[in-house]
């Protein structure tokens, strides 16, 4: 590792930033850590020649893969570690495809976080066992990286109405279909996306809907 390593921690929860900062400072010598709690502040601090950024998915002003693409275009050498509570098996590949070097779950052990940072420094990438398994699964089963590709156009339409707050009756009237049909579509959508409530459905659409 070079003598000095500059890491920017981007998360709108101060306890996450400070806890991660303490862990990294104990594990690595010559580390300089900066903090940002929103996308705009993060962009400003990336101008200070950062080597690595820990980037939460859901930060004010930038909760999508587009922010990763923009950062990658501007800072091609920057090491981008997505650091999120969202399940890596469902979200990691999408962000890695968008330009991130790795994806780390916030609930990872201290040793796993240190291992991930070392991997980024030494190899320029980090893949957890869960992500590796997902890549193998997708390769052999030909599953799409974007789970929304599993949905039909009508299912996408119903999903968007559900996350906008429409109930079964309103969707039935808008699409001119039976309420029982709406219920069937809803069940299919939940099953195909592996979610069990509207909150989770909102998360999936926010991440994967272009």
Task: Kindly report, residue by residue over 113-129, the tens digit of the pLDDT.
Answer: 999 999 999 999 998 88
Q: What percent of the chain has pLDDT over 70?
A: 93
Tell me, yes or no, whether 89 and 191 share the same domain: no
Q: How many domains does the chain have?
A: 2
Query: What is the per-residue pLDDT for 19?
Result: 95
Q: In the predicted model, is pLDDT for residue 1 greater than 70? A: no
Q: Tell me which residue range forms the domain holding 57.
A: 5-139
Q: How many residues would you count in the chain?
A: 210
**Phi and psi of 103, rounded to 5°?**
-140, 125
What CATH number does residue 165 fall under? 1.10.10.10
Tell me, yes or no, whether 168 and 75 share the same domain: no
In the chain, where does DSSP find H-type helix? 14-27, 39-46, 65-74, 88-97, 110-123, 129-141, 153-163, 168-175, 179-193, 198-208
Tell me, yes or no, whether 75 and 25 share the same domain: yes
Tell me, yes or no, whether 98 and 177 share the same domain: no
Q: What is the largest CA-CA distance in the chain?
A: 66
Mean pLDDT in residue range 158-177: 93
Tell me, yes or no, whether 75 and 178 share the same domain: no
Q: Domain boundary residue among 94, 118, 139? A: 139
Tell me, yes or no, whether 18 and 52 share the same domain: yes
Q: Which two tokens stand for residue 147?
A: 């789970």
Query: What is the per-residue pLDDT for 142?
Result: 62
Asked whether 95 and 82 are in contact (CB, 8 A), the reply is: yes
Q: Domain boundary residue among 139, 165, 185? A: 139
Sheet holding 102-105, edge to edge: 31-36, 5-10, 52-55, 79-84, 102-105
Tell me, yes or no, whether 77 and 103 share the same domain: yes
Tell me, yes or no, whether 76 and 104 share the same domain: yes
Tell me, yes or no, whether 53 and 92 share the same domain: yes
58-74 pLDDT, tens digit each:
888 886 788 999 999 99
Q: In the predicted model, is pLDDT for residue 138 greater than 70? A: no
Tell me, yes or no, whether 121 and 161 share the same domain: no
92-111 pLDDT, tens digit each:
888 888 899 999 999 999 99
Tell me, yes or no, whether 135 and 159 share the same domain: no
Tell me, yes or no, whether 154 and 130 share the same domain: no
What CATH number does residue 73 fall under? 3.40.50.2300
Q: How far apart are CA 20 and CA 113, in angstroms?
A: 9
In 3-state terms, what secondary structure has residue 63?
coil
Mean pLDDT in residue range 39-57: 93
Cβ neighbourhood burial of 6 (10 Å; 0-12, 13-18, 19+): middle
Q: Domain boundary residue among 84, 105, 139? A: 139
């Amino acid at each position: 590792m070079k003598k000095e390593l500059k890491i920017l921690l981007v998360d709108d929860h101060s306890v996450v930033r400070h806890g991660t900062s303490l862990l990294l400072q104990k594990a690595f010598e010559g580390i300089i850590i900066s903090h940002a709690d929103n996308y705009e502040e993060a962009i400003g601090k990336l101008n200070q020649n950062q080597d690595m950024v820990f980037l939460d998915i859901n930060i004010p002003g930038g909760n999508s893969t587009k922010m990763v693409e923009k950062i990658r275009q501007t800072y091609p050498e920057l090491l981008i570690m997505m650091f999120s509570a969202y399940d890596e098996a469902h979200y990691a590949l999408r962000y890695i495809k968008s330009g991130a070097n790795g994806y780390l779950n916030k609930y990872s052990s201290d040793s796993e976080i240190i291992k991930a940072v070392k991997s980024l420094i030494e190899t320029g990438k980090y893949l957890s066992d869960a992500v590796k398994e997902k890549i193998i699964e997708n390769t052999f089963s030909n599953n799409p990286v974007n789970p929304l590709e599993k949905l039909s156009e009508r299912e996408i339409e119903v999903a968007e109405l559900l996350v906008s707050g429409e109930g079964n009756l309103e969707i039935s009237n808008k699409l001119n279909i039976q309420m029982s049909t709406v219920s069937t579509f809803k069940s299919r959508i939940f099953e195909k996306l592996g979610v069990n409530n509207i909150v989770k459905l909102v998360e999936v659409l926010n991440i994967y809907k272009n």
